[in-house]
A and B are shown apart, each in its own frame.
Chain A
Amino acid sequence: MNQPDLTAQSVVKRFGDHVAVDSISFEVARGSFFSILGPSGCGKTTLLRMIAGFLAPDGGEIAIGGRSMRGVAPNRRPVNMVFQQLALFPMMSVGENVEFGLARRGVPRAERRRKAEAMLERVGLAGAAAKRVDELSGGQRQRVAIARSLVLEPTLLLLDEPLGALDLKLREHMKIELKQLQAEFGTTFVYITHDQSEALVLSDHVGVMNHGRFEQIGTPQDLYYRPRTPFVAGFVGDSNRLAGRATGIDGDRVRVDTGDGWIVEARRAGEVASADAVEVFLRPEAATLSRPGEASAAPAATHEGVVESLLFDGAKSAVLLRERRSRREVRIALPQTGEFADLKTGEAVAFHFDPARAVCFRARRDGDA
Chain B
Amino acid sequence: MIPSLPRPAWLRAATALYVAAFLGFLFLPLIVVSVFAFNNAPYPAPPWHGFTLDWFFANDPTGRLGMFHDDELMHSIWTSCKVGVWVTLLSVLVGLANALLLERHEFRGKQALSILMLVPLVIPGVILGISILAFASQIAQFLDDHFDWYVRFLRPGLPLVVLGQFSYIATIATLTLRARLSRFDRTLEDAALNLGASRAATFRTILLPYLRPALIGTAMMSFLLSFADFNTTLMLVGGSPPLTVLMYGRMHEGATPVLNAVSVFLMAASAVLAIGLMRRGPRRASG
A–B direct touch, CB within 8 Å, in complex? Answer: yes
- Whether B201 sits at the interface, judged by CB under 8 Å, is yes
- Whether A104 sits at the interface, judged by CB under 8 Å, is yes
State whether A80 and B286 are in contact (beta carbons under 8 Å apart), knowing that A89-B206, A91-B209, A104-B201 are contacts in the complex. Answer: no
Give B197's nearest chain A residue, CB to CB: A104
Q: Which of B198, B209, B212, B287 lies in contact with A75, CB distance below 8 A?
A: B198
A54 lies within 8 A of B201 (CB)? no
CB-defined interface of B177-206 with A at 8 Å, one 1/0 digit per residue?
000000001011011111111100100011
| Shortest distance from the beta carbon of B158 to any chain A beta carbon, whole Å | 37
The residues of A that contact B188 with a CB separation of less than 8 Å are 87, 89
State whether A100 and B205 are in contact (beta carbons under 8 Å apart), knowing that A91-B287, A149-B195 are contacts in the complex. Answer: yes
A85 lies within 8 A of B195 (CB)? no
Give A96's nearest chain B residue, CB to CB: B205
Q: Which of A79, A83, A91, A101 lies in contact with B190, CB distance below 8 A?
A: A83
State whether A105 and B196 are in contact (beta carbons under 8 Å apart), knowing that A90-B287, A91-B210, A91-B287 are contacts in the complex. Answer: yes
Give A158's nearest chain B residue, CB to CB: B194
State whether A100 and B192 are in contact (beta carbons under 8 Å apart), knowing that A90-B286, A91-B286, A134-B286 are contacts in the complex. Answer: yes
CA distance A189 to B188 in the complex (A): 21
Q: How many residues of B contact A (CB 8 A)?
A: 20
B196 lies within 8 A of A75 (CB)? yes
CB-defined interface of B206-222 with A at 8 Å, one 1/0 digit per residue?
10011010000000000
- Whether A74 sits at the interface, judged by CB under 8 Å, is yes
| Shortest distance from the beta carbon of A154 to any chain B beta carbon, whole Å | 9
Q: Which of B196, B205, B286 lies in contact with A132, CB distance below 8 A?
A: B286
- Interface of chain A: mostly helix, strand, loop or mixed: mixed
CA distance A245 to B194 in the complex (A): 52
- Whether A120 sits at the interface, judged by CB under 8 Å, is no
The residues of A that contact B187 with a CB separation of less than 8 Å are 83-85, 87
State whether A101 and B195 are in contact (beta carbons under 8 Å apart), knowing that A89-B206, A91-B210 are contacts in the complex. Answer: yes
A75 lies within 8 A of B286 (CB)? no
Q: Which of A53, A54, A104 lies in contact with B195, CB distance below 8 A?
A: A104
| Shortest distance from the beta carbon of A112 to any chain B beta carbon, whole Å | 13
CA distance A184 to B99 in the complex (A): 45
Which of A73, A81, A87 has the most B CB atoms < 10 Å from its CB? A87
The residues of B that contact A52 with a CB separation of less than 8 Å are 190, 194
List B221-266 residues whose CB lies under 8 Å from chain A.
Answer: none
B185 lies within 8 A of A152 (CB)? no
State whether A152 and B195 are in contact (beta carbons under 8 Å apart), knowing that A85-B185, A87-B187 are contacts in the complex. Answer: yes
B286 lies within 8 A of A87 (CB)? no
State whether A75 and B197 are in contact (beta carbons under 8 Å apart), knowing that A91-B209, A100-B192, A100-B205 are contacts in the complex. Answer: yes
- Whether A148 sits at the interface, judged by CB under 8 Å, is yes
Would you list 22 pairs from A and B whose C-beta atoms are within 8 A, ordered by A residue?
A52-B190, A54-B190, A54-B193, A73-B193, A74-B190, A74-B193, A75-B193, A75-B195, A75-B197, A83-B187, A87-B185, A87-B187, A87-B188, A89-B206, A90-B286, A91-B206, A91-B212, A91-B286, A91-B287, A92-B209, A104-B198, A152-B195
Q: Which residues of B contact A (CB under 8 A)?
A: 185, 187-188, 190-198, 201, 205-206, 209-210, 212, 286-287
Q: Which residues of A contact B (CB under 8 A)?
A: 52-54, 73-76, 79-81, 83-85, 87, 89-92, 100-101, 104-105, 132, 134, 148-149, 152
